[in-house]
Structure 1
C-alpha cells in the first residue's frame, strides 16, 4: 500500500504516477548520463505547470493549498516513476518558504545542496543518482530544526516510492521468470525474500506516512513540535536503510538481468543510496529516539473522526462513566449488557458498531479507566459460533463466555500437523446421537482448566484433506479426555497435550455441517474489531527504555534501544493505518498481515536486548519467573517465552509463504 489512505490521496497518487510515467522519466535520466549541466528542463516545466512541487503552499500564495501529507503522497508517486528534475528540493523549498519557486535546498552545516536549482553554490555533479544534480555550497545548511524535519519528511516519502517500485518489480519478475521448469516465485526462498521485502516496504511506508501526518497535525495545531520530531527520527531510522535493503533485494530476485546497466533497478538503488547519504545518520536519530523515550515521549497519532463521533460520544461517555463507578466485580457484566465488551459483534452480544463508534467507545472506556477483560481463545471460538452456529449454540455458549463463566481452549494442532492443519489425523466416527473422537492434540494452552474446546477432527478420510474436516465443540470434562502438561523452556507448563479416546460429542455440538471445518477454522466476523494503538510501547521495549534511564549505557547500546523503540512504534503505526483504512470504509491492507511478522521480530529482539544490556549477571541468575522479584529473572523469562511467538499461530516461515501468495500473488 502507498502512503495515501483516503480516497482523495489514493486518487492523487494514481493520477500523478500516470502523469509522471507519461513524461518518460527513465529515458530522460538515461539520455542525460554524463551531462553535468543537465537540468531536465522539459520535465521541470511540466512539474511547474502541474504545481506538483507546491502542493503544500497556500492557494493565496500560488500553491495547491494542500497539506504536508498531500505533498508527501505526491513525492512518493513521482519517486515511484523516478521522476528527475529537482522535484524533491523544490518541494522542500516551496513548503519552507510558502512560495511556489524552484529552490536548491541546503541540508548540512557544510552546505550540501539538494537537487541543484538556482540557489545552488559550487559546481553541480551528476553523482551516483543519475536522476538528480547536487552541489556543495558554503551556506549554513538547514540549521532550523523544522526545516531539517521537512527535508527528512519529504525524503522519506521519496524513499517509500522507491521501495514500492522495487517490491513490485521483483514480484512481477518472480511471477513470470521460469527456472527448473517452474516460475521462480513458487520457490520458497524467493517467496520469503519477497515477503521480507513486503515487511520492510510496509514499515518504510508507515514511517514516512507518519512523519508527514505529524507535520500536518503540527501545522493545524492538533499536535506539537515534539511529536513531529519523534516521528521524523523514527522515519530516519526506518525509511532510508529500508529503501536501500529493498532495492538490493530487488536486484537479487532479478538475478543477472538486475545487475545489468540496461535494467532500471540500479537507478532506483542509486536514488535510495543518495537519499540515505543526504538525510544524515540513522544511528544519531536512534540515539535521539532513545533520549526522547527516556523523557517520556511516545507517538500519539492524531485521528480526525471528521465529526462522526459527535452523535455517539455523549452516550459512550455516560455509559463508560457508569460502568467505571461500579465495583470491580460488576464491571464485566455491565460491559456485556451494554455491548461494550465486544461492540463490533452483532446484537445482542455487541452493537454491530462501525469503526468510528468502536474507536469512541475505546477512547471513553480508557478515559474512565475501565479495562476490558481478555477473551483469549473465546475470542476465536465465539465469532465462529455467532457466524455459523445454531441459535441454541449461541444461546448456550456466547453470553456465558463473555461473562467469564466458560473458559475455552483450542484443539487444532497435532504432533504431526503443526501449522499444516489440513493434515490432521484426529478422527471422528459417526455413532448414535453424535460422533466419537479419537486422537491427540498438542500445544494447547489452558486445557487444564478449560470448560470447552474448539476441535477440528477428520470426518471423511476419502476426500481431499481440507474437505474432510469438521468443527466440534468439545466438553473438556467428558469421559475419554486426558490432559498432560508440557513443560516449556521457561520451566513452566502453560501448554498441554490432550488425548481423546472415544470421546462422545453430541450432534448439537457440531458447528455448521460435517466437512465445513476447514472453512470455519478461518472464520472472522465481517465486522472486524477496530482499535487505535495505545501510546505505551511493548513490554520489553519499555523495559529497555527504563534501563536507558537508570544506567550509564554507551552510544552503541542507546542506538540499539532507539532502533527497538522505532520498530515498536512502526508496528503500532501499521495498526493505526489499518484502523484509518477501516474508517474510510476499506478492508484491511497489507499492514494487518505484516504487523504480526514485524511484531514478532520486535518482541523477540527487544526482549533479547534487555537481557544483553545487563551483561554477565545472567550467568549468576537464580530461578526464573514471570513475576519474579529479581527484575533480571523476569527479563530472562520474557526473552525465553517470546521464542514461541514465531511458532504459535503459524510459524514465521509459513506466514511469509502465505503473505507471498495471498498478498503479493506469487504462485504456489
Structure 2
C-alpha cells in the first residue's frame, strides 16, 4: 500500500510509477556515474512536462494546485522508480517560494531550479548542477535567494548516484533577495515532510524487490521464501514499510494544519522514516544475497539514496528528544478524519439516541447500549446494526462526546460473532443478548499444552453419544475460566481426516457440566489470570455444537478474524504515557529522554496505522497491511514501553514503592503479548504468506 488511500491518489501513484519506470532513471544514474556535473536535464524536463515538479503550485501560476499530500504521493512514486535529479529540492522550493511573485512563473515552467542548503556553511548544497538560484541562510538564520551567477558552485559526486550535491561560495557582490518569511525550522520541516515521502517509496521498492526474489530463488530444493528466516526478514520489512508510509502520509496531511501538530508529525517522521528506508534497503540486500551485493543489481542505488537522505535530514535521536519535550508539554498527535459530509444523514439521529443513553441511570446504560445496537454496531442485527464505516465512526464520536464508555465484553466479543454467523436461531436467542447484557461470561478453550498456536494439532477429543458428545482433554491459558458461565471449545471429532478438517466447535456449560476441573495457573506476575481446564468425559448436547461436525477450524478463524472500524485515541499507549510522566517528574539523562521520544514515535505510528485502516474502510476498501502490522508493532510498543518505564527508575526496582510495583507488574504482564493470540513469529509467517504471497 502506498501513501495514497483515496482512489484518486492510488491512480496518481500508479500512473507516476509507470511514467517513472519509462524514464529509465536507474540507467540514467548509472550512465552519469562519473560526472560530478550531471544535471539529469532530460529527466528534469520530462518531470516538468509531466507536472511532477509543479504539482504543489497554485493553478493560476501554471501549477497543479495540489496539496502537500498530492506532492508526497508523487514523490513516493518517483522515488520507487529512482527518478534522478532535483525532484525533492524542487518540491521543497515550490512549497516555500510558490507565493514569491518573481519566482513562481519560473518554478512553474521549470526555468527556475533552486539549489537548497540547510545551513550557513554552504558545504552541502542540493542539486547544484541544475540550479539557477541558491536558497540558504546566513549565520543569523536570515534566508535569502541568490542567482547562481553570483555564486561559485562546486559540483560533487557523492554517495547517491541519482542526485548531485556540491558546495557554494557567494561572491562579495552577490545580489540576494531577502526572504524574511522563512526560518530554519520552516525549511527543515518542509524538507523532512517531503523526504519522508521519498523514504516511503524507497522502503516499498526494497520490500517488493526482496519479496519477488524470495518467491523465485531456490536453495536446498525449495524457494527461499519458504524458509522462516527469510519470511521473517520480509515480514519485518513490511512492518517497516508500513510504518514509514504511515508517518509520511501523516506529516504531509499535518503540514496544512496547526504549527504544533505539524511540528509533532515532523519529529515522528524524522524519528521513523529515514532510518526505516535505510533498514529496508539493507535487509533487501540481505535477502537478495550475493546478487544484491553486486554493482550490477539496482539495490545498492536505493541503499545509497536512503543513506544520503538520512545523512541530510536524519537526526532521529534529536527528533526523539524534541518529541519527549512536546509530549511532556501535553502535545499528542490528533488526527481528524474528514467524513466529507457523509455523516450528515446519520449524525442527528445518532446524537439523539446517544443523548438518551447518556441520560439513563448508570446501571441502565449497558441495557440501553444493547437495545440501541450501539454496543456492537458493526455486528448484524439484532445484536448490532450492521453499521457501515461512517455510522460506526459517528457512533464512536457521539459516545465519546457524551462521556459514555462501552463495557468490555471480553471473550464474548470472539464467541458471539461465530454464533451469529454460524449458529442456529435457538443458539442466537439463547446466548447473544444475555451475553451482551453481561449476564453470561465466556472463556475460550482453544490452546492446549502440546499445541499452542498450532490449533490444528489439538488433542482434546469429542466422541458422539446419544443426544450429544463426550469431551475429554486438557486446555491451558484459559482466562476467566474460574468464573465463566460458558466456554467456546475446539475438540477433535474425526481423527481419521487431515488435522484441520476433523475439528468441531462446541459451546460448553462451565457451571453445570460434570467433569470440568479448573485449576489456576500462576504466571510470572505472581497472579493467576489464566487457568488449566481439564475435561473428563464432559457431556455437551447436540444443540451446543455450532454448525456441523468438522467445521471447527473454519469457525475458529471467524472468531479470531472479527474486527470493527474504530478511531484510535490521541493518547499514547499506557506505558508510553507513564514514561512521559516520568520524564516530566524526574531528571532523566539525555539518552533516557531520547528513548522516551522513540517510544512516543512508535506509539504514534501504531495510532496512525489504525487511522489509515479506518480511512480505507471509508473508501470501501478491504483492510490493508496496516491491521496486521498494527498487531505486531503494538506488541513491541507495549513491551518496550513497559520495560523502559521500569528501567527509567533504576535501582529502585530492588526495593520498589507501590507505584513502581505496578510498573513492574505491567512490564512482566506484557511479556505474554508476543505469545497470546498467536506468537509474533507465527504472525510474521502469516503476514509473509497471506499479505506478501511468500510460499509455505
Alignment TM class, shorter chain as reference: over 0.9
> In the alignment, is the contact (CA less than 8 A) between 2:415 and 2:559 conserved in 1?
no
- Corresponding residue number in structure 1 for 2:638: 603
Distance 1:526 1:570 in 2: 22
TM-score by length of 1: 0.96
> In the alignment, is the contact (CA less than 8 A) between 1:410 and 1:455 conserved in 2?
yes
Q: Does 1:439 align with 2:467?
A: no
Distance 1:352 1:115 in 2: 55
**Secondary structure at 2:432 match in 1:** helix
Question: Shift in Å at residue 280 of structure 1?
Answer: 4.1
Distance 2:378 2:218 in 1: 46
- Corresponding residue number in structure 1 for 2:673: 645
Distance 2:120 2:372 in 1: 59
Question: Shift in Å at residue 213 of structure 1?
Answer: 1.1
- Report which stretch shifted further, 106-115 or 384-393: 106-115
**Secondary structure at 1:456 match in 2:** strand
- Corresponding residue number in structure 1 for 2:451: 417
Distance 2:499 2:675 in 1: 23
Question: Shift in Å at residue 208 of structure 1?
Answer: 0.7
**Match runs of 1:175-574 below 5 Å:** 175-216=215-256, 218=257, 224-477=258-511, 478-523=513-558, 528-574=563-609
> In the alignment, is the contact (CA less than 8 A) between 2:199 and 2:274 conserved in 1?
yes
- Corresponding residue number in structure 2 for 1:16: 16
> In the alignment, is the contact (CA less than 8 A) between 1:344 and 1:527 conserved in 2?
no
Distance 1:58 1:353 in 2: 40
Structure with greater Cα Rg = 2
Question: Shift in Å at residue 136 of structure 1?
Answer: 2.8
Residue by residue, what CA displacement relative to the aligned partner does 1:255-275 show, whole Å, maximum 9, x if unpaired? 111111000000000000000
Question: Shift in Å at residue 126 of structure 1?
Answer: 1.9
> In the alignment, is the contact (CA less than 8 A) between 2:414 and 2:562 conserved in 1?
no
Question: Shift in Å at residue 134 of structure 1?
Answer: 1.0
Question: Shift in Å at residue 108 of structure 1?
Answer: 2.9
Distance 2:127 2:234 in 1: 32
Q: Does 1:125 align with 2:156?
A: yes
Distance 1:360 1:525 in 2: 25
Residue by residue, what CA displacement relative to the aligned partner does 1:286-316 show, whole Å, maximum 9, x if unpaired? 0110000001111110211010111111111
> In the alignment, is the contact (CA less than 8 A) between 1:305 and 1:356 conserved in 2?
yes
> In the alignment, is the contact (CA less than 8 A) between 2:118 and 2:184 conserved in 1?
no
CA gap of 1:375–1:41, structure 2 versus 1, over 3 A, is same
**Match runs of 1:55-70 below 5 Å:** 55-70=55-70
- Corresponding residue number in structure 2 for 1:221: none
Residue by residue, what CA displacement relative to the aligned partner does 1:509-566 show, whole Å, maximum 9, x if unpaired? 1111100000000015999410110011111000000000001111101100000000
Q: 1:106 aligns with which of 92, 110, 117?
A: 117
Distance 1:271 1:564 in 2: 27
Q: Which runs of 5+ in 2 are unaligned?
A: 99-103, 135-150, 171-177
**Secondary structure at 1:522 match in 2:** helix
Report the aligned-residue RMSD. 1.4
TM-score by length of 2: 0.93
**Secondary structure at 1:409 match in 2:** strand
Question: Shift in Å at residue 102 of structure 1?
Answer: 2.5
Report the count of equivalent residues: 655
> In the alignment, is the contact (CA less than 8 A) between 2:80 and 2:201 conserved in 1?
yes
> In the alignment, is the contact (CA less than 8 A) between 1:88 and 1:115 conserved in 2?
no
Distance 1:73 1:527 in 2: 31
- Report which stretch shifted further, 107-116 or 313-322: 107-116
Distance 1:108 1:261 in 2: 33
Question: Shift in Å at residue 284 of structure 1?
Answer: 0.8
Residue by residue, what CA displacement relative to the aligned partner does 1:145-187 show, whole Å, maximum 9, x if unpaired? 2322111010000000000000000010011111111111111
- Corresponding residue number in structure 1 for 2:688: 660
Residue by residue, what CA displacement relative to the aligned partner does 1:395-422 show, whole Å, maximum 9, x if unpaired? 0000000000000000000000000000
